[in-house]
Structure 1
Amino acid sequence: MTTRVAAIDCGTNSIRLLVADLPGESAGPQAPLVDLTRRMEIVRLGQGVDRTGRLAPEAIERTRVALASYAADIEKLGAERVRMCATSASRDAANAADFTEMVQRTLGVAPEVVTGDEEARLSFTGAVRGLPADAKAPFLVVDIGGGSTEFVVGDRAAGVRAAISVDIGCVRMTERHLPGDPPTPGQVTAAQADVAAAVDRALAVVPGREAATLVGLAGSVTTVVALAQGLREYDPERIHHARVSYEAVAQVTADLLSQTREQRLANPVMHPGRADVIGAGALVLRVIMERAGMPSVVASEHDILDGIAWSLAT
């Protein structure tokens, strides 16, 4: 028998909902989730956290509005189990209790402020379970979020071998280094140096250079892949499991970092809430590929959100 579950991933930049049916045990270990709805809203919960150490009241309110809508969908679809994971922004904030109280009041369950390691493992589960059978292991899975990036190495049989979370998300890097519109060469150089140092620290813990396949997760990666493919609209089916070369990623990154926000917004695949931070997200991806020696990246539309849903199977 299937089990209907609701998963919510609340990150630094966006909040996402998945309501899905989990397959029964008789369906086998590779049976997929059956999606009922996937939603995403850019709420920028982590607005200013890197500078102030606190969640802004207006950011908490934007998140509340989105969460109330999600709660209505969950009730309408009759999910039996609900899990909400809150990531980097709410880990860092001094006033995290205000956020927790809002979620409990709006959703009826408390958010789980997962550790970086748990975040990484959920991302790995969501990404790897659906990879094509011919994708070569071991896998280096990178989840580029708003406040942090998770690095995980593992394979299908043994699962996660090593994982680490580092504070180089697209929102954090934009606020810290890239205020220009477009950013100046000096700003880009400073951001690149910061990202490279963090990536090297991560790869000293996680053996990403030994991986055979790089899998990239979250909106920065999927947007870069959509741009590299020249899509005229955002098409998850064409992006999911698409493989893009390092050279294509480097070109997209250079283009984004040379454009104004208005120029980036003019691209039909660009979500309006991502236009001001996508340059930093692309830069993080490019530097990871450089430092790990990866000639290409496989994009996945399945990520921590799917991992949260799968975690409700037990």
Structure 2
Amino acid sequence: MTSTRVAAIDCGTNSIRLLIAELDPSTGAITDLDRRMLIVRLGQDVDRTGRLAPEALERTFAACREYAAVIAEHGIGPERTRFVATSASRDAENSAEFTRGVKEILGVEPEVVTGDDEARLSFAGATKELAGGPFAAPYLVFDLGGGSTEFVLGTDEVQAARSVDIGCVRLTERHFAGTEIPTLGQISAAKADIKAALNQAAEVVPLTEAATLVGLAGTATTVAAMALELPAYDSEAVHHARITLEQVREVTGRLLSSTHDERAAIPVMHPGRVDVIAAGALVLLSIMERTGAAELVVSEHDILDGIAWSTAS
């Protein structure tokens, strides 16, 4: 079977990402032709106002115009392009404005997927290459985003999935806004929110039954890069790295006690994550403690790869 070239776009609360890939369904091989990310913070203040801010929409539309040019350069038409929008656009009252703008720019309508659909796409992207490898099934995959976190348990198929409203942007805006170094009281309040959300997830997804815990998205990859003490961000070094609970605890403590400038000076830190990474790391640590996992496997392949495969099929 010949390969298929597709374009996949994942628009979340904090970032919008593009993947141009060649897919071979007969072997399960995915070859990146272009993979890029822009921090647009679409979910700016959505938790407080219930609406997408005009400036957030414009940042997102500017990114869409850039991505439209890249997709055209690769000769990919709308029939092989899929745009998936997640937490922020699900929550916003004015999501129709977002949908209309994206369609005008890219020629495809953004699919505002449910949290469960988001979870399944993340699972497919993260686990397609794990079969037969060194990581034992079943897998508990979590995709820690800006506004929500998806939990999925499964082997070759999804057994249970749940999306809950904890993410690095949402928790930062709720508990750490206006504070450079969060107080013990603020951290305690954030932990209470996280605990409540994990209780919701556990109603549907068994959180302690997996053989391998797999973490996706920018918080997990950034914490992993810090734990590995990389001199610069290296996706190959991060992909499928094993990070211990002790390493995550140390990195989280460091981030929660650092100033904005100290976080910005970390070599692996993306500028768009500086103000939200501490809250994200706290969620990550809480997940590891709740699941009882001694280590975390970090994957660079996530919902974006899942979107790509769904486009091919």
Q: What TM-score, normalized by structure 2, do the two folds share? A: 0.97
Cα offsets for 1:253-308 (capped at 9, x unmatched): 01001111111000110000000000011111100111111111000000000000
CA–CA distance in structure 1, aligned partners of residues 236 and 115 of structure 2: 29
The gaps in structure 1 that reach 5 residues or longer are: none
Find the counterpart in structure 2 of residue 84 from structure 1: 83
CA–CA distance in structure 1, aligned partners of residues 244 and 200 of structure 2: 24
Compute the displacement of 1:2 (Å).
1.1
Cα offsets for 1:207-263 (capped at 9, x unmatched): 120001000000000000000010110000000000000010011001001111111
CA–CA distance in structure 2, aligned partners of residues 196 and 300 of structure 1: 24
Equivalent residue letter for 2:140: L
Cα offsets for 1:167-204 (capped at 9, x unmatched): 00100000001121011111111101110121122122
Find the counterpart in structure 1 of residue 169 from structure 2: 171
Equivalent residue letter for 1:67: C
Find the counterpart in structure 2 of residue 101 from structure 1: 100
Residues 4-15 of structure 1: matches in 2 within 5 Å?
4-15=5-16
The gaps in structure 2 that reach 5 residues or longer are: none
The reply to whether residue 265 of structure 1 matches residue 264 of structure 2 is yes
Matched position secondary structure for 2:142: strand
CA–CA distance in structure 2, aligned partners of residues 24 and 104 of structure 1: 28
Compute the displacement of 1:24 (Å).
4.5
CA–CA distance in structure 1, aligned partners of residues 188 and 295 of structure 2: 23
Runs of 4+ in 1 over 2 A off after TM superposition: none
Find the counterpart in structure 2 of residue 20 from structure 1: 21
Q: Percent identity?
A: 63
Cα offsets for 1:135-166 (capped at 9, x unmatched): 1111000000000000000002xx00000000
CA–CA distance in structure 1, aligned partners of residues 91 and 128 of structure 2: 30
CA–CA distance in structure 1, aligned partners of residues 108 and 301 of structure 2: 24
CA–CA distance in structure 1, aligned partners of residues 75 and 113 of structure 2: 25
Report if aligned partners of 2:224, 2:241 keep a CA contact under 8 Å in 1.
yes
Equivalent residue letter for 2:210: A
Report if aligned partners of 2:88, 2:147 keep a CA contact under 8 Å in 1.
yes
Report if aligned partners of 2:151, 2:205 keep a CA contact under 8 Å in 1.
yes
The reply to whether residue 183 of structure 1 matches residue 182 of structure 2 is yes
How many residues are paired up?
A: 308
Find the counterpart in structure 1 of residue 136 from structure 2: 136
Find the counterpart in structure 2 of residue 193 from structure 1: 192
Report if aligned partners of 1:227, 1:252 keep a CA contact under 8 Å in 2.
yes
Cα offsets for 1:57-92 (capped at 9, x unmatched): 000000011110000000001124000000000000
Find the counterpart in structure 2 of residue 219 from structure 1: 218
The reply to whether residue 71 of structure 1 matches residue 72 of structure 2 is no
Report if aligned partners of 2:207, 2:290 keep a CA contact under 8 Å in 1.
no
Report if aligned partners of 2:123, 2:152 keep a CA contact under 8 Å in 1.
yes
CA–CA distance in structure 2, aligned partners of residues 79 and 138 of structure 1: 36
Equivalent residue letter for 1:160: V
Residues 272-287 of structure 1: matches in 2 within 5 Å?
272-287=271-286
CA–CA distance in structure 2, aligned partners of residues 104 and 205 of structure 1: 35
Matched position secondary structure for 1:207: coil
Report if aligned partners of 1:148, 1:166 keep a CA contact under 8 Å in 2.
yes
Find the counterpart in structure 1 of residue 53 from structure 2: 56
CA–CA distance in structure 1, aligned partners of residues 253 and 195 of structure 2: 16
Find the counterpart in structure 1 of residue 116 from structure 2: 117
Q: What TM-score, normalized by structure 1, do the two folds share? A: 0.97
CA–CA distance in structure 2, aligned partners of residues 24 and 270 of structure 1: 35
CA–CA distance in structure 2, aligned partners of residues 230 and 143 of structure 1: 23
Equivalent residue letter for 1:301: E
Q: Using a 3 Å threshold, how does the CA distance of structure 1 residues 201 and 271 change in structure 2: closer, same or farther? A: same
Compute the displacement of 1:96 (Å).
0.4
